[in-house]
């Protein structure tokens, strides 16, 4: 037999990714987007200190990055009041989720998530042969009690919850999340994805207890810190679990440039304050544009706004398509009933102007196409 011999699992999996990137879409249509508002990136960019540090580190990128991420872990430990041994750094939350699932999930192992929640987690679970068990949202919120009940029912190894939530932008207060942590069944681990926590209201995140073996918390520099392209994420957990990452992670996965940028970003807390203000202003402006077109913006604790289009998924998909044809890149939830919505990332004044100009025509064309 010539050619590669795949495992039976990989041979059966479809060749797909959860998201089609904007660059792929631009190549397909032969034109660049005028407004890039679909990937929940921060158009406000990184801290100037981070930009300077990354530029200075570029000349030393002939060297691998520190495989222990020592300085960055020290700084993160100081920020969160934990030990360096409670922190692992990796290639974004997506990279860390991949390592975690690789450690925990084998063929047939049960994993619990919400139906319609962040699909990249599901992608990793399926890739290692895990069995996904999904519970519905409670309205526009993930349902912590239902997730815990399902985990107990199926003896889940992992339970995934994002707080704040992607794709709905909703959130639970800290007491609700702490209650969830306190009721994690024996043998299960709560994967608490806090990618948007820096943009959420005070009182969203419970206090961090690094000695609690029932939860691992995922954080990122991609959202509030505006460093999505640098791929820097980290997790906070019991030191035994953190130590286990060394068995599977790519020890040279972090570039020196990304390490330098993240370290400098932590030294500029005022930048996050500025970004939060810009995010709040942008959400208000996107909400205004949505409302003047008869659409309903939902409350959001993230750097995007989920907007109820008032009909089923066919209309929302048509709006995404029509806006894309008019140079506006957005996305939408994948699963009913939330696929009645579109999702628009926060942007600049120029982005808002482009959206405001394109949306009425896109809505009219979308409705006509149905």
Question: For all residues of the chain together, what is the average pLDDT?
Answer: 97
Distance of alpha carbon 165 from alpha carbon 128, whole angstroms:
24
Model confidence band, residue 16 (pLDDT cutoffs 50, 70, 90): confident
- E strands in the chain: 35-36, 87-90, 110-114, 131-135, 158-162, 189-193, 215-220, 233-236, 296-297, 304-308, 328-329, 341-345
Give the confidence band of 271 by pLDDT, cuts at 50, 70, 90.
very high
- In this prediction, residue 15 carries a pLDDT of 83
- Give the whole-angstrom CA distance, residue 315 versus residue 325: 15
Q: How many other CB atoms sit within 10 Å of the CB of residue 310?
A: 12
Question: What is the reported pLDDT for 190?
Answer: 98
What is the pLDDT at residue 19?
Answer: 85
Task: Over range 143-169, report the average pLDDT.
Answer: 98
pLDDT band, very low/low/confident/very high, at 3 (cuts 50, 70, 90): confident
**What confidence tens digit (pLDDT) does each residue in 187-211 have?**
999 999 999 999 999 999 999 999 9
Mean pLDDT of 82-86: 98
pTM of the model: 0.96
Euclidean distance between the first and final Cα of the chain, in Å?
A: 50
Reply yes or no on whether the pLDDT at 2 is more than 90. no
- pLDDT (0 to 100) of residue 1: 63
Residue 14: the pLDDT is 86
Percentage of the chain with pLDDT > 90? 95
Domains along the chain with CATH numbers = 8-45+270-369 (3.90.1150.10), 48-268 (3.40.640.10)
Q: Helices 349-369 and 313-325, interaxial angle, to 10°?
A: 130
pLDDT tens track for 49-63: 999 999 999 999 999
**How much is the average pLDDT of 220-244?**
98
């Amino acid at each position: 037999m010539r050619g590669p011999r795949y495992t039976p699992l990989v041979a059966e999996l479809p060749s797909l990714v959860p998201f089609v990137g904007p660059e792929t879409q631009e190549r397909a249509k032969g034109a660049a987007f005028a407004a890039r508002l679909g990937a929940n990136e921060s158009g406000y960019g990184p801290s100037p200190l981070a930009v300077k540090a990354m530029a200075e580190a570029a000349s030393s990128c002939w060297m691998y990055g520190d495989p222990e991420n020592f300085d960055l872990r020290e700084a993160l430990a100081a920020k969160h009041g934990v030990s360096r041994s409670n922190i692992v750094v990796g290639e974004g939350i997506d990279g860390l989720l991949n390592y975690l699932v690789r450690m925990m999930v084998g063929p047939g192992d049960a994993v619990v998530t919400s139906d319609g929640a962040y699909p990249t987690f599901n992608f990793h679970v399926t890739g290692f042969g895990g069995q996904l068990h999904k519970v519905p949202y409670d309205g526009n919120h993930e349902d912590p009690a239902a997730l815990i009940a399902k985990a107990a029912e199926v003896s889940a190894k992992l339970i995934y919850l994002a707080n704040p939530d992607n794709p709905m932008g909703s959130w639970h207060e800290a007491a609700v999340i702490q209650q969830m942590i306190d009721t994690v069944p024996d043998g299960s681990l709560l994967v608490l994805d806090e990618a948007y926590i820096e943009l959420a209201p005070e009182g969203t995140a419970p206090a961090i207890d690094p000695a609690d073996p029932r939860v691992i918390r995922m954080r990122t520099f991609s959202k509030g810190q505006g460093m999505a392209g640098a791929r820097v994420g980290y997790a906070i957990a019991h030191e035994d679990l953190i130590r286990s990452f060394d068995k599977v992670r790519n020890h040279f996965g972090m570039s020196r440039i990304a390490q330098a940028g993240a370290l400098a970003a932590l030294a500029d807390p005022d930048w996050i304050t500025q970004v939060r203000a810009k995010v709040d202003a942008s959400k208000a402006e996107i909400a205004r544009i949505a409302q003047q077109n008869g659409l309903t913006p939902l409350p959001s604790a993230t750097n995007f706004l989920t907007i109820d289009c008032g009909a089923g998924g066919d209309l929302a998909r048509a709006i995404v398509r029509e806006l894309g044809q008019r140079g506006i890149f957005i996305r939408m939830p994948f699963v009913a009933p939330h696929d009645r919505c579109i999702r628009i990332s926060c942007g600049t004044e120029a982005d808002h102007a482009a959206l405001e100009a394109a949306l009425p025509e896109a809505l009219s064309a979308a409705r006509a196409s149905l």
